[in-house]
Amino acid sequence: MKKILIVEDEAPMLQGLKDNLEYESYAVDTASDGETGQEMVLNGKYDLILLDVMLPNISGFDICRNARKANISTPIILLTAKGEEIDKVLGLELGADDYITKPFSLRELLARIKAVLRRAPSREQEEDQVISLGRLSLNFKRYEAFEKDKPVKLSHKEFEIIRYLYKHADESVDRDDLMSKVWGIEYDITTRTVDNFILKLRQKIELDPNNPKVILTVHGLGYKLVL
Ligand code: CA
């Protein structure tokens, strides 16, 4: 069964699309804001993504651009409203596969979905995708890291930290958030521990660890991974 993610903030539209696609025998997941949508897109578990352009938090354009920067090649069909600049979609190398302008007919949408799916490689081929961050190529599924062709050793916790930051790419991530998500609340660690892990990660990832471009410090809060 092909798996489709719909990112759309208008509830009736989202529900209508979900019902119709499920009726057509697709498995459907949904997100109704940009932040959740981006996280799900970057998980890379879908055969196709229907992505609304105007979304709360992060726009569909940005999600699309970030996904491609992160080497997520899941086909994306943008849902645009009349009057939105389509030139942008096609001109700014966002990497969308197609777009459809609201209001559209279900029949037209299904035809686009089928056409895009026909052209795309299957999800199984994508599962072991490698993403590049700074000097490293990372495979989160296999817990592998390489610099050029040389394996680089990252601890399990280092992988978990970078994976969490990556899922929240371009967002500021609170230190406390990182601690509870990576270590769990039962561990007695301090923000200092988090900072030390980040220092070690920067040594491995950044071209110049003293001038980080991938894992940025957000003063008074935490960190932000930039794709
Ligand atoms: Ca919208």
226 CA to centre of ligand 1 in angstroms: 25
Q: Please give the angle made by the CA atoms of 215, 216 and 220, to the nearest 5 degrees.
A: 130
pTM above 0.85, yes or no: no
46 CA to centre of ligand 1 in angstroms: 21
pLDDT at 91: 43
12 CA to centre of ligand 1 in angstroms: 11
The amino acid at residue 122 is S
pLDDT at 141: 78
Beta bridge partners of 98: 77
DSSP letter for 183, please.
I
215 CA to centre of ligand 1 in angstroms: 30
User: Six-digit token pair at 133?
Assistant: 């961050």
162 CA to centre of ligand 1 in angstroms: 30
pLDDT at 186: 63
Is residue 3 within 8 A of residue 50, CB to CB? The reply is: no
Reduced to 3 states (helix: H, G, I; strand: E, B; else coil), residue 67 is helix
pLDDT at 182: 83
Q: Tell me how far apart the alpha carbons of residues 170 and 50 are, in angstroms, rounded to a whole number.
A: 21
Domain range summary for the chain, segments of one domain joined by +: 3-119, 131-225
- Is the CATH number 1.10.10.10 carried by domain 131-225? yes
- Note down pLDDT in tens along the chain; length 227 residues: 899 999 999 999 999 999 999 999 999 999 999 999 999 999 878 999 999 999 998 999 899 989 988 878 899 999 988 777 666 555 456 788 888 889 999 999 999 999 888 877 655 554 567 888 999 999 887 889 999 989 999 988 898 899 889 888 888 999 988 888 888 766 677 888 899 999 999 999 999 999 999 999 999 999 999 98
Phi and psi at residue 76, to the nearest 5°: -125, 130
59 CA to centre of ligand 1 in angstroms: 9
51 CA to centre of ligand 1 in angstroms: 9
119 CA to centre of ligand 1 in angstroms: 27
pLDDT at 126: 47
- Comparing 3-119 with 131-225, is the CATH topology the same? no
72 CA to centre of ligand 1 in angstroms: 22
Q: Looking at domain 3-119, what is its CATH homologous superfamily?
A: Response regulator (3.40.50.2300)
Torsional sign, CA 66, 67, 69, 75: negative
Q: Tell me how far apart the alpha carbons of residues 117 and 134 are, in angstroms, rounded to a whole number.
A: 31
Q: For the purposes of burial, counting CB atoms within 10 Å of the CB of 95, is it exposed (0-12), middle (13-18) or buried (19 or more)?
A: middle
Q: Tell me how far apart the alpha carbons of residues 181 and 51 are, in angstroms, rounded to a whole number.
A: 27
8 CA to centre of ligand 1 in angstroms: 6
19 CA to centre of ligand 1 in angstroms: 18
